[in-house]
Each structure stands twice: as C-alpha cells, then as structure tokens.
Structure 1
C-alpha cells in the first residue's frame, strides 16, 4: 500500500503543486486560476502570468489548496478557499443556485481537483476531500460548498471532472442543496453542525 500524505499548499511547496498540476488535463495551462479570474481576465493572461498568480497565493494565508503526496511524490491538488476569493463562482450559472449569500466569507468552496496521470486510480479524491473539509474548518469556515458532476446522469471525459464527482462528495458527508442542471448538483458540508 502506498503512503498518502496531504499538506497545505504553502511557501516551499510550489514546485510540488506544479508537478501535480502538470501531470495531465488542463492544470498545466490553467494553473488553477480558472475560478480566480473573470472570463475576460482569464483569456487575457498567459500561462506564465497564471503561474505567477498561483505562486503569489502560496505566500498568503490561508493556503489556496492542498497537495497530496504518494510515497513522498506530489500526486494531486485540490483548490479550497473562500468563495468570495474565487471571482468566477458568482458569475457562473450553476453556482448561482447556491442558497448561501455570495458576500459571506465564511462559505468556502472546493472547486478543482487535479490528479497526476501517474497516480490516477489510487483513490486520492476521498482523502483530498476530507483534508479540504478539515482545512476549511481550521481556517474558520462555516460551510463548504461544491458543484460536482453527477456521473450517473451523464458520461463525462476524465479531464472534465476537475470539479469533482457527486458520489465522492456524498460519501464525504456533503448533502445536495440544489440541482441547477440534471448533471450538476450544489452540495454543502455544514461545519457548524458537524
């Protein structure tokens, strides 16, 4: 059995995040800035600029995400943080179905998973999601939301599953609070009540 550890994306771990992000899918070009920028701003930035933006996040608290390691090698990434810091969420129709007020800094969101192709199939999503909830709790969040894909409704290419899979969130204790589209659910984990 491989040893899996999960650490905050803090200063000194940027190269590890880059390794996880560049192991397949859109993580290399996006640099996990999709949710951080409005559409026009994202389109007007280069990969290098997005890399610099992510690097700058590593110097701030709370950490912008978590990195999973398999036997010491960076293997996966999850973005988790206040919804208010992830500008695109409020402008995205599926997230607009959230019953929570958008200006509430105590509502956090899990918005992006990247699993390096060399480590897929190891079940990294579940421990990453558990660690994301713990990170949000330790950072003072009241509620954690996400808008995963319901793969029971639609077949989805692996690279489009970066927002997560509904079954994984439900298994982690999240509850569905809205269904903006047949294949997308808003889920929430109430940290105050757990």
Structure 2
C-alpha cells in the first residue's frame, strides 16, 4: 500500500513543485500563477516568465501551496493561502457577489488549484493537509470555488478547481452559486477547532 505525505512548498522543494505541476492538465504551462495575476498580465506572460514568478513567490514565502508525495515521489499540488494574496479572486465578480466575507480580511484563505500526477484520493489528502496548514497559520475560514460534477459534463482541465464532492466530504458547506457548475464553499476553522 502506498504512503501519502504532504509538505509545504518551500524553495528547497522547488524541483518537487515543478514535478508536481507537470502532472497533466494545464499545470506545466500555468505554473499556478493564474490565481495571482490579472487577465492582462496572464496574457502578457510566457510559460518561463510564469515559472520565474512562481519561483520568486515560493522563494519569498510563505509557502503558496503544498506538495503531495506518494512513496516519496512528488505527485500532486494544491494552492492554498490568504485570499488577499490571490488577486484574481478579488476581481472575479461572481465570487465577490457570492462571498459574505470582507475582501480585505487576511484571515480568509482560499484553495484555488489542484494538480495531480497520479494517485487515487490524492485531492482529498491534499485538501485535508491544506485545511490543517491554514488552521496552523492562523486562518479563520477557507473558501473554495469547486466544480459540481453531479451536473452536466466537464473537461478534465476544468477540474483544477477541485470537485464539490471532495470539499463536502472534508466538512465544507456550500454557501452560493458562482456560475453554472461552479459553487462557493466555506469551512469555518475557528468553529472546527472549538469542537475538536
């Protein structure tokens, strides 16, 4: 049976970050920069520029995501961090309209991206680790914007947001609709800690 572990994405793990992002979908070309830049800036950058941007972000810290390992090999990635640092969220009208939380609150964290190379259940493991990481880092609440795969058909590249079922299984609750097939989910970390 395989052993799954997770680690924070630090500059010492840069090669593992890159290995994780090469797992399929748009990870290699996106470099998980989509959540932190405007459309204009996104369209003006090359893959190599995005790679440098992510490298600078990881190098500066705090870690913008986590890496999952299967038997010691980097196998997946999740971006999780303060919503205020993921500026695309703050410019997305559907999210701004659906959230009930102040946009300038740094205690609100967001999960915006999954990339998985291999491994069944890896998204669930990454999300569990992201919740723990956010709580340990002082987050009050986590938002995410997953795809409701129970309706319609979805391209695999659209699933980088994660599946609604994965979030619901981890204690998130749906609080709003964003667009057709996309929802807003939240998990209150302070309440969860009080119950533990």
Matches within 5 A, 1:1-194: 1-96=1-96, 97-116=98-117, 119-120=118-119, 122-194=120-192
Contact 1:27–1:114 at 8 Å: present in 2 too? yes
Consecutive unaligned residues in structure 1, runs of 5 or more: none
**Structure number having the greater helix percentage:** 2
Shift of 1:181: 2.7
Write the distance in 1 (CA, Å) between the matches of 2:21 and 2:180.
Answer: 29
The structural deviation recorded for 1:100 is 0.9
Q: Deviations over 1:92-126 (max 9, x none)?
A: 1332211111111110000000001xx14x21011
Q: Distance in 1 between matches of 2:156 and 2:136?
A: 31
1:14 Cα shift? 0.8
TM-score by length of 2: 0.94
Q: Any unmatched runs of 5+ in structure 2?
A: none
**1:159 deviation in Å?**
1.6
Q: Is the 8 A contact 1:94 1:184 kept in 2?
A: no
CA-atom RMSD, angstroms? 1.0
Q: Distance in 2 between matches of 1:144 and 1:29?
A: 26
Q: For the Cα contact (< 8 Å) 1:79–1:112, is it kept in 2? A: yes
TM-score (norm 1): 0.95
Count of residues paired in the alignment: 191
Counterpart Cα distance in 1 of 2:136 and 2:43? 34
Report the Cα distance in structure 2 between the residues aligned to 1:31 and 1:136, rounded to whole angstroms: 21
Cα distance between partner residues in 2 of 1:169 and 1:62:
24
Give the CA deviation at 1:56: 1.2
